[in-house]
């Protein structure tokens, strides 16, 4: 019996990558697994894809160091965003989430990699595909899901919805295409004015890249050497239009002309992290703005009203999923380098699913904000004031 348990123990060691203590219990009928992680590789150096450069002699490194703790953290962050978005898709189809809803699944490496490279006091502003960045900037799953369903416990008290979520040093979620870019330049101007050594990460999509206000912002940022990282998340389609049909030049990292640029593999969290570190150092050293193009891909359509398969094939989507999925890429690296076990990653998946389910329960049971709260929080730290309703005789009160 003992020799049989030893054989089982050794087999489990090979499968899970853990030390397994096999011993008989009361009836001698099961194996007790002791959770020791001492055999895992604590740190590895990995090759990453070289970035394309514009007006730069040197770019981000072609190797990245990854610790076991970092790997598990990045995996958890990306998997949480993925599960959260899939749940949002389900709730939308059940008509529990209404209105505009733009999902981020497929692009998780962008949000996770950027956050890993900046500090919590740095600033970030993005467009309407904002759920992932809301999470990486520190908002809980519960508050995000409740905001999506328009509940009082949401991060914007249920009044912002999918496109308008905020947190300290995170300025949304902006619904007007490209309008967040000049705002980001303004935040970078504030950083420069205050001399706090902070940067502003200003994100936009390939669909917004032809907006005139982008080029005005580029010009101003370059003139004043603002600490702004302009990041184009190029997911290949602006709504239903491919980049080739919308842009005479699809080299978005060169669009700043006089501003240095780098093109990055946006499906690899380590590539994104190293490139963002490089860009942040560029800005902090007083060299002015820099442009990053993250080549990424969204699995869902542009929004929930877009099935996403009328302008691209299912085979194209499946090919990206099978060859370039950001979560699978990180998972394979960790398993191949003995930095985690299959069982350990499954446990993380289970805990994330549970957390998302609990947040969903809250988001469907929490009350909607009452009508008298409709006009609250228009101003910060302001005396109460009356706000006109739908007609001059319907006066509502606004409390800061």
Band of the pLDDT at 2, cuts 50, 70, 90? very low
Residues composing the chain: 400
| Range 166-186 average pLDDT | 97
Please spell the DSSP secondary structure of 75-120, one letter per residue. Answer: HHHHHHHHHHHHHHHHHHHTTSS-S-----TT-HHHHHHHHHHS-T
Q: What are phi and psi of 350, to 5 degrees?
A: -65, -45
pLDDT mean over 73-81: 98
37 — pLDDT class (breaks 50, 70, 90): low
Bridge partners of 242, per DSSP, are 237
- The answer to whether residue 236 scores a pLDDT higher than 70 is yes
Sorted by where each starts, the structural domains of the chain and their CATH numbers stand as 43-369 (3.40.50.970), 372-399 (no CATH)
Confidence of residue 372 (pLDDT cuts 50, 70, 90): confident
Percentage helix, strand, coil, to 5, in the chain?
A: 40, 15, 45
Cα(281)–Cα(118) distance, integer angstroms: 10
Give how far Cα 250 sits from Cα of 135, 141, 217, 234, 326, Å. Answer: 30, 35, 19, 9, 23
Residue 1 has pLDDT above 70, yes or no: no
pLDDT band per the 50, 70, 90 thresholds, residue 36: low
Contacts within 8 Å (CB) and 24+ apart, 187-193 = 187/123, 187/125, 187/228, 188/123, 188/221, 188/226, 188/227, 188/228, 188/283, 188/289, 189/224, 189/226, 191/123, 191/226, 191/227, 192/224, 192/225, 192/226, 192/227
Tokens of 156: 């914007």
For 135-154, the pLDDT digits (tens) are 999 999 999 999 999 999 99
290-339 confidence digits (pLDDT tens): 999 999 999 999 999 999 999 999 999 999 999 999 999 999 999 999 99
For residues 198-202, give the mean pLDDT: 98
Q: What is the mean pLDDT of the chain?
A: 92
Q: What is the pLDDT of residues 259-276, one digit of tens each?
A: 999 999 999 999 999 999
Going by pLDDT thresholds of 50, 70 and 90, the confidence category of residue 24 is: very low
pLDDT at 25: 36
**18 — pLDDT class (breaks 50, 70, 90):** very low
Which of 32-36, 129-133, 284-288 is predicted with the least confidence, judged by mean pLDDT? 32-36
- What is the predicted pLDDT for the residue at 26? 37
Averaged pLDDT, 7-35? 43
């Amino acid at each position: 019996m003992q020799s049989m348990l030893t054989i089982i123990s050794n087999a489990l060691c090979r499968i899970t990558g853990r030390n397994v203590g096999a011993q008989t219990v009361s009836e001698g009928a099961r194996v007790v697994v002791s959770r020791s992680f001492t055999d895992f590789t604590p740190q590895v150096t990995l090759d990453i894809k070289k970035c394309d450069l514009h007006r730069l002699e040197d770019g981000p490194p072609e190797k990245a160091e990854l610790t076991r703790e970092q790997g598990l953290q990045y995996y958890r962050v990306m998997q949480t965003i993925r599960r959260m978005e899939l749940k949002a898709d389900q709730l939308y189809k059940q008509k529990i989430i209404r209105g505009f809803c733009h999902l981020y699944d497929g692009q998780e490496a962008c949000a996770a990699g950027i956050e890993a490279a900046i500090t919590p006091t740095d600033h970030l502003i993005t467009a309407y595909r904002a759920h992932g960045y809301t999470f990486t900037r520190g908002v809980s799953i519960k508050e995000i899901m409740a905001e999506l369903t328009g509940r009082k416990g949401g991060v914007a008290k249920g009044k912002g919805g999918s496109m308008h979520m905020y947190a300290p040093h995170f300025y949304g979620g902006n619904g007007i295409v490209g309008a967040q870019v000049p705002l980001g330049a303004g935040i970078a101007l504030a950083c420069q004015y205050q001399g706090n050594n902070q940067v502003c990460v200003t994100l936009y999509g390939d669909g917004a890249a032809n907006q005139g206000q982008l080029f005005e912002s580029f010009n101003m940022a370059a003139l004043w050497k603002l600490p702004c990282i302009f990041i184009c998340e190029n997911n290949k389609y602006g709504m239903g239009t491919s980049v080739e049909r919308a842009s005479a030049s699809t080299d978005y990292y060169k669009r700043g002309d006089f501003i240095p640029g780098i093109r990055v593999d946006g499906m690899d969290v380590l590539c994104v992290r190293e490139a963002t570190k490089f860009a942040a150092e560029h800005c902090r050293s007083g060299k002015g703005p820099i442009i990053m193009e993250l080549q990424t891909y969204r699995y869902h359509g542009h929004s929930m009203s877009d099935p996403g398969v009328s302008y691209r094939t299912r085979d194209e989507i499946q090919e990206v999923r099978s060859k370039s999925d950001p979560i699978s890429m990180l998972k394979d690296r960790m398993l191949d380098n003995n930095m985690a076990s299959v069982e350990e990653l499954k446990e993380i998946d289970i805990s994330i699913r549970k957390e998302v389910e609990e947040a969903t329960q809250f988001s469907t049971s929490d009350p909607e904000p009452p009508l008298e709260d409709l006009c609250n929080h228009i101003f910060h730290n302001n005396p109460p004031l009356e706000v006109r309703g739908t007609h001059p005789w319907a006066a509502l009160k606004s409390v800061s």
